[in-house]
Structure 1
Amino acid sequence: MNSLWIRLSPLRRHYLPLGVDDDGYHDIPSPLRKRRRLVVALAALVAVSLLFNVLSLVKLSRSSSLQARPLDDFQNLDTSPLIRVQSSSSNGYNANINAIVTTLFSDSYAPAVATLGHSLRKVNTTARLIALYFPEKVSPSALCLAAASGFQPVAVSRIAPPHNGKGIHDHFLDQFTKLSLWSLENEGINALVYVDADTLVLRNFDELFELPYVFAAAPDVWEDRRGMTLEFNAGVLFLRTSMKTYQRMLDVLPTTRFPLFYAEQAFLNQYFSGRTLTLPPVYNANIVTKKKYPELWRSMWEGKEVRTIHYTVVKPFLGPKMSGIGVGEVDGRVKEVKESESGRYSEEVEMWGKMWVETREMYPKIREECIRGTTVKYSGVLLT
């Protein structure tokens, strides 16, 4: 009876009891069953995905707890002075054979070198100030400006990057010339502290010249998950000069394996691996530390221990995309850079800007003549 009604009913075209077809035997899913199966399948997929994510989070949590670093929860426990014994000439210190060295490989860094020189003079360093430069790439006026605050220009030949520069960031292609630092033994230099031009010196660090080691540097700091690493940053280096070391470096440079992207810094990390004296970060206060380890950064400044601040990710003296700018544009650029990174480094950028203003005001005649490109005689060095 029911079967007959099903076959004759006008609703037959639109309704069929689940599990029954025209002959009452085969199971043909309706649209409702298809939707129900789809919902069940999606629910199962979501459940599996949630389970996988929960397990992953548990694993990550356990892994993170095992890999936690002291700096991830920095506490300012040791407040004693960093240096307990003052430098003394009786310990063998000789200013005539020590130098603080920077580089000038393009005109765009001339204001930075001049500002760095002024900061060094303010802290009363007794070491010689030397700026290595490329005669073929640095104009006379830029060299004049860079030397205005006390750096002695020393011409060097460019050391070409290995593998014709393949794989090396364009901004670092000239940086292998930094190996020339070791050749300054020929200039009568026994020990030197190298500082990048994008630094400011805030406190005298002449105590480094009494180190008995041949090489020292501060740990590097990265913006990404690596944070502070065992690798050192090559923006501030202490070293003892040696023509033998210099020649050895040139000999092994073409065949040494190192991450090419990071250029001479990676090479030096490989060359001195296991033999580097680690300096406290106050000797190379990379401003990225402020982002990665704010409590450590605050402690460094509260203790007034910072020797050198390093402008790695913001450069107040350069235009966008690392382009050079005119001397008259530097003040405006400082204001722009203060607002970059959501103002994270505004205090540090302002610090550089004030030092730049002091530099301009302290050496106005030199600055004006350098900008005009005229011949200037300064500190016994003829600049044309």
Structure 2
Amino acid sequence: MPPYYPRTSLFRRIVITVRQPWIWFPLLLGCSVVLHLQIVRIVHQRPDPGCRQEPVRSALDNYQDLHNLPIVNEEFFRSVPIVRSENAIVTSMYNDAFAVPIVTLGHSLNKVDSKARRIVFYLPGSVSERALCIATASGFEPHAVSRIDPPADGGVHQHFIDQFTKLSIWKFDELGVKAVVYLDADTLVRRNFDELFALPFNFAAVPDVYIGDPGFSIGFNAGVLFVRPSTKAFRELVSQINTARYPHWEAEQAFLNVFFGAEAVRLPYIYNGNMAIKRRNPELWEGLQSEMRLIHYSLVKPFWRGVYNETGLEDMHENVLRRAEDWDGTWRDEILEWGETWKEAEDTYRYAFTRCGWKHGH
């Protein structure tokens, strides 16, 4: 034994152990196993940065009613004149199934006394004279447009196949229109929103909402749009339908999100009361009610018995009652609200409907 080791019995036992591997090897092996198990436990307890352990919750999922400050500055809006011929509320009509929702939408606009011009663009080969007559009875002026084809490689859902025709609104500068508020036909107006025509921007929309993840999105919904028409912008849009990268099955909404993604102004949810909000966060939906301008019947259509499955005018009220019970009645009040507005339209424009060829009760 070297002289630099102490001569105590403890150190002698250590040295002897080190010099006898059949004694210390099992000890090292045991320590290695314990250490490995500890490492495995720590790694599995640590959240994987590439995998969410829980859904991402936004501030809107944590909605709280903390103030009663108005969203719209009415004093400013009153200082901005609205010229009817230069500002238009526009909707679309791709087939006869849109007649009833459009005439009902027009009636809701009449009730809030909007000062803007109203235009419904339609596809002449897909819309009958009778349906167009019914749709325009509450004040929309008809405007025929050519169909804009979806991407050539297909992939678009069948019920979105005509939706790229919505890009036609960018050509409305040829009609003398300087600002457009576009509304899908499945919307209903609750309050005047003419203040949108005072926006200085070229494009604005409301962020989208989904029932599950991602929930509240920075991507916008194309059911309500603010647009300053420009034929130059129209040409840019149409020229890139086939070359831009976007999920084609989501049609024009996905395309517009990549085209205007960085420039789009995001509007408050009161301008697109998407049904998904109520399902995602009922408290937020309730908090929006006092200033809600528009309801968007995105998930349940009170006027259809399915996608584009037209409901006869005489069966509309029964259909509304059936649809009010969809999703366990989540949107019963909103569906019945649409039904009441349709009943008012039916009574108000009964004679116009008769001239269109509809006989009440048949």
TM range (shorter): 0.7 to 0.9
Equivalent residue, structure 2, for 1:17: none
Give yes or no for the alignment of 1:161 onto 2:147: no
For residues 80-229 of structure 1, what are the structure 2 equivalents within 5 Å? 80-86=69-75, 88=77, 90-164=79-153, 166-229=154-217
Equivalent residue, structure 1, for 2:63: 74
SS in 2 for 1:71: coil
- Pick closer, same or farther for the CA change 1:321–1:100 going to 2, 3 Å: closer
Of 275, 293, 301, 1:307 maps to 293
Percent identity (aligned): 42
- Pick closer, same or farther for the CA change 1:284–1:56 going to 2, 3 Å: farther
Distance 2:163 2:53 in 1: 37
CA contact (8 A) 1:259 1:266 kept: yes
CA contact (8 A) 1:115 1:356 kept: yes
SS in 2 for 1:86: helix
| Deviations 1:139-170, CA, capped at 9 Å, x for gaps | 01100000000000000000010125x11111
Report the CA distance between 1:369 and its aligned residue. 2.2
Alpha-carbon RMSD = 2.3
CA contact (8 A) 2:82 2:116 kept: no
Relative to the length of structure 2, the TM-score reads 0.83
Equivalent residue, structure 2, for 1:259: 247
Equivalent residue, structure 2, for 1:296: 284
Report the CA distance between 1:306 and its aligned residue. 0.3
SS in 2 for 1:361: helix
Report the CA distance between 1:216 and its aligned residue. 0.5
SS in 2 for 1:275: coil
Equivalent residue, structure 2, for 1:338: 324
- Where does the alignment leave 5 or more consecutive residues of structure 2 unmatched? 1-39
Distance 2:307 2:181 in 1: 29
Give the total of aligned pairs: 319
CA contact (8 A) 2:87 2:179 kept: yes
Relative to the length of structure 1, the TM-score reads 0.79
| Deviations 1:245-295, CA, capped at 9 Å, x for gaps | 001111122211111111000000011011011000110000111000111
The amino acid across from 1:362 in the alignment is T
| Deviations 1:107-165, CA, capped at 9 Å, x for gaps | 0110000000000011000000100001111001100000000000000000010125x
- Where does the alignment leave 5 or more consecutive residues of structure 1 unmatched? 1-50, 374-384
Distance 1:103 1:211 in 2: 23
